[in-house]
A and B are shown apart, each in its own frame.
Chain A
Amino acid sequence: MKSFGYTITKDRQIDYDANDRRLIEYVEGIEPSIRICMECGSCSATCTAGHFTDFSIRRLHTLLQRGETLHLRKEIEKCMLCGKCQLVCPRGVNLRNLILIIHQALDKLHHDL
């Protein structure tokens, strides 16, 4: 068939119903403090990794809540576990633990992410 060079663009919409939420459920089960995030962005603003890469722990957390886990394994590798995010968090969310548990969960759930 002749190719005209057109391709189908992937939908960037979050399809909440189709998303796999096992990961967030696992993480929340171990670290319930991540529920109380009010999305202020203090964590990302102070993040050392975020100053040099496009890593945003706030956004990662929000995407995780929505069941968006694509690129997650690659994303969390940018975190250096310095813990500054946790120091500035006004609600005391244990963000370092969030990263550690995601590591753990990815291995445990055998996610191909």
Chain B
Amino acid sequence: MSKTAIIIGGGVAGMETAGQLNRLGIEVVLIEKQASLGGHLKNWDRLFPDRRESQEVFDYLEKGMNDGISLYLNATISDIREAGGKFTVILEDGRELSSDALVLATGYDLFDARKKEEYGFGIYDNVITSAELEEFFRNNKQKNLFEGVQSKRVGIVHCVGSRDEKVGNLYCSKLCCVTGVKQAIEIRELMPDAEIFCFYMDLRMFDRHFEEMYYEAQEKWGIRFIRGRLSEAAENPDHTILVKVEDTLTGLPLKMKVDLLILLVGFVPSPETKRLAGMLGLKEGDDRFLCPSDEHLLPNSTDHPGVFLAGTLKGPASIAATIVDARAAALQVAEYLVNGER
């Protein structure tokens, strides 16, 4: 009899884990709370660092969703039970699904920028988040971003909701830096005359091609970088935004007017992850993301036999890294189902 795995979460990690397990001959059930698959990937226009269309990645993941996978959309889990090494997942509508292994791939949420009240998101018209900008790129490809706004200067704020103990997030979200640089270049392409500034503490261009992208942003696109964390943003009567920052490289406070301020919002653990982790007794770290049993050697296993983790519920990760992680998770699950090893 073939073994069954239930994957909870139909974003990048869930889709790839499901596809891989299915290809390995395991029966897969995929549960997604929303009406469609793809998670955050569906909100991206182009991906860093090569700016390929996010749709291409989605199309690949979707191809893995063949008939062998039982898909439950709009499905919320009300309870998870366990008996004799078997899991029973109970959905809100009463349906019961059973399996030999569980994979949590419930992802992350974006930081709610309203919590950084001093930046004025949700209060001032011309303060938006990086996610909103991405959505704009996705939906209005041909149009000028600032039609009728006469935008000449754009500020991009790094580390919004990350490396900030005041909002409870001590960790670095890792991918905001490269997202900001990517978006700066994309704004430049739309508005060749604009002045574009990134306000950063340090640029964490850690992955392959990232540093080169930073270099290109300076050399080819003339993006300007000011080291300093924005202290506040205030709206002028004409709806432009006055920003204040210490230019820490000159040691002087600096103020400037921008027409548009973009906040690079980071990753936060999702409440749904926390709820499910509570049901299964999984441990979370100081950063509130879930912890595998061994970060080096068993990055997809948990202390709970038969329960596995995939993707950004363990912390900020790029789409490329998430896909790699999902494949590792699939292999770990397959090994468990075949050999009983976790």
Contacts and interface: CB of A to CB of B under 8 A. Distances in A.
Interface of A: 12-17, 32, 35-39, 58-59, 62-63, 65-66, 68, 91
Interface in B183-235: 214-215, 218-219, 222, 224-225, 227
B247 interface: yes
The SS class assigned to the B binding surface is: strand
B86 interface: no
Nearest 7 interchain pairs by C-beta: A16-B256, A14-B254, A13-B253, A62-B249, A36-B218, A36-B219, A35-B218
Interface residues of B, number: 17
A59 B249 contact: yes
14 contacts: A12-B252, A15-B255, A17-B255, A17-B256, A35-B219, A35-B222, A38-B218, A39-B225, A59-B249, A63-B250, A66-B247, A68-B250, A68-B252, A91-B215
Contacts of B250: 14, 59, 62-63, 66, 68
B250 to A, nearest CB: 5
Contact of A16 (B215, B222, B254): B254
B230 to A, nearest CB: 13
A12 B247 CA distance: 12
Given A13-B254, A16-B256, A68-B250, 11 more contacts: A12-B252, A12-B253, A14-B255, A16-B254, A17-B257, A36-B215, A36-B218, A36-B219, A58-B249, A59-B249, A63-B250
B192 to A, nearest CB: 15
A64 to B, nearest CB: 10
